[in-house]
Amino acid sequence: AKACIASLTTEPGDDRAALRRRRRLGGQDNDTYYFSSYSASHIHETMLRDVVRTESYRRAILDNAEALFRDKVVLDVGCGTGVLSIFAARAGARKVVAVDASDVIK
């Protein structure tokens, strides 16, 4: 996944732009900055407190429970707090596997 994201976030042949980005990101490359930005709990708290966002996800999942979730196996990659995994389980998923690479889940 990191290689895929890197290919989307880098500009081939523009080393000066990459260097400017690293300086702006405190010396980190795009991937490191992106993944480390989710290691702090405050970003997850902010997302969970966003009622419109969270409720929209909940409604989308529960409104499609029969067609998309009931008795299915769900893989939630980049699950963060796992709130979408919980919604999938409530929608009747047979099994939910939630994985995340950030330090927030440790």
Alpha-helical segments (H) within 1-106? 2-9, 15-24, 30-37, 41-49, 51-63, 83-90
Query: What is the mean predicted confidence (pLDDT) over 80-106?
Result: 90
In this structure, are 23 and 2 located in the same domain? Answer: yes
CATH of the domain at 59: 3.40.50.150
pLDDT tens sequence across 18-57: 656 666 656 667 777 777 778 878 888 899 999 999 999 9
Quick one: 73 and 103 in the same domain? yes
Q: Identify whether residues 21 and 62 lie together within a single domain.
A: no
Beta-bridge mates of residue 96: 74
- Structural domain containing residue 1: 1-37
Q: What is the pLDDT of residue 42?
A: 83
pLDDT band with cut points at 50, 70 and 90 for residue 5: very low
Q: Are 69 and 61 in contact (CB under 8 A)?
A: yes
- Based on the domain organization, do 62 and 89 belong to the same domain? yes
Average pLDDT of span 54-77: 97
What percent of the chain clears pLDDT 90, i.e. is strictly above it?
45
- Say if 80 falls within a structural domain: yes
Do 56 and 99 belong to one domain? Answer: yes
**Assigned domain for 101 exists:** yes
CA-wise closest residue to 6 among 38, 36, 32, 27? 32
Q: Are residues 25 and 55 in the same domain?
A: no
| Whether the predicted model's global pTM rises above the 0.85 cut | no
The pLDDT score that the predictor gives to residue 2 is 47
> What total number of domains does the chain contain?
2
Statement to judge: residues 52 and 32 lie in one domain: no
- Flag whether 42 is in a domain: no
